[in-house]
Structure 1
């Protein structure tokens, strides 16, 4: 007959992590209903609406600038070397408002494609065939916006405010170009994922 082992009152039980630590350490869902992609999509929706309002307002100002009288109106262009007053001509006003409208409109198009991509993520379908086209559209739009900003700043520095605003150098384009290349690489990754999914569906 085996007697029960007496319990040692001085023996410490292994510590157990609190429940809130288990909740934090639990893996966060990235796809599907109840995932973090839903939160990101809501943020993208809010940013898209804000950019839509800003672009619409700038477009209205651009149309109104055709008829606004500009007699004896000056603007101050400031840069690293100081400031300079320039007469506000209609061409300068239309150029500034047009550049701002195109800038915000370009990012609005980028957010529209991102919203559609995150819509597929919330459905748990990241490798939707349309996401490849959307990513390519994002990369192309980002490249156009980056090139437009570079050309516009160079035009302002050379024609409108020489000696006040410095044009962007080629070195400042490295980060945007790298971002554009990353987007196109992601598009190829999604294309390969969509191809593998299609092959697996055909196999089944």
Structure 2
């Protein structure tokens, strides 16, 4: 099986990324609607918590804020998924070292770093404002997240060099 071009593994992965992208978009819309429902019908939050047998000290407004914060986090992943889809679209077309892929990979790296920093900030705010006990982020999860950010930036430089070599080769006769 081929890895690049039409009817290849990269085109299969691009199709999978399309499905995840639209699923993520639908999830953001659903979470946003649920948060708006919690804000518009305050008794709904208490009823939902009673049915789920949850014993928490947060009210409907706080639940809605948490849901909106989750939707913002998902929006970050949606942007990352959008840029990843664009990279895989060029791979599926067989154009590996497309000049725009360098910038896209950099944006993916910044997006991953931003989502991770947002995660730290939202955990700290949830702990400070809502008095929610939050599991600290350290160990392998933190190392893996920041390692993936560095790997994406390295890949961006590899794609930049590949695009430069391709442009140089196009100038030779």
| Structure 1 match to 2:7 | 34
* Residue 149 (structure 2) aligns with: 180
Cα displacement (A) at 1:97: 1.2
Q: Quickly say closer, same or farther: Cα 1:70–1:168, change in 2 above 3 A.
A: farther
Q: Is the 2:14–2:89 Cα contact (8 Å) retained in structure 1? A: yes
State the match for 1:119 in structure 2.
Answer: 89
Partner residue, 2:25: 52
Larger Cα-atom Rg: 1
Rounded Cα–Cα distance in structure 1 between residues aligned with 2:70 and 2:45: 24
- TM-score, reference length from structure 2: 0.85
RMSD between aligned alpha carbons?
2.4
Q: 1:62 to 1:89 in 2, by over 3 A?
A: closer
TM-score normalised by the chain length of structure 1: 0.73
| Correspondence for 2:172 | 203
Aligned counterparts of 1:114 and 1:99: Cα–Cα separation in 2? 23
Structure 1 residue runs without a partner (length 5+):
1-27, 77-82
CA distance in 1, matches of 2:45, 2:26: 31
Q: Deviations over 1:112-165 (max 9, x none)?
A: 111111111111101001111111111111111111112212222333235x43
RCO (CA 8 Å, sep 6+): is it higher in 1 or 2? Answer: 2
More strand by share: 1
Number of aligned residues: 169
Residue 33 of structure 1: SS of its match in structure 2?
Answer: coil
Gaps of 5+ in 2: none
Range that drifts further, 177-186 or 164-173: 164-173
1:150 matched to 2:120: yes
Distance 1:128 1:170 in 2: 36
Q: CA deviation at 1:89?
A: 4.4
Aligned-partner SS, 2:39: coil
Distance across 1 between alignment mates of 2:125 and 2:20: 30
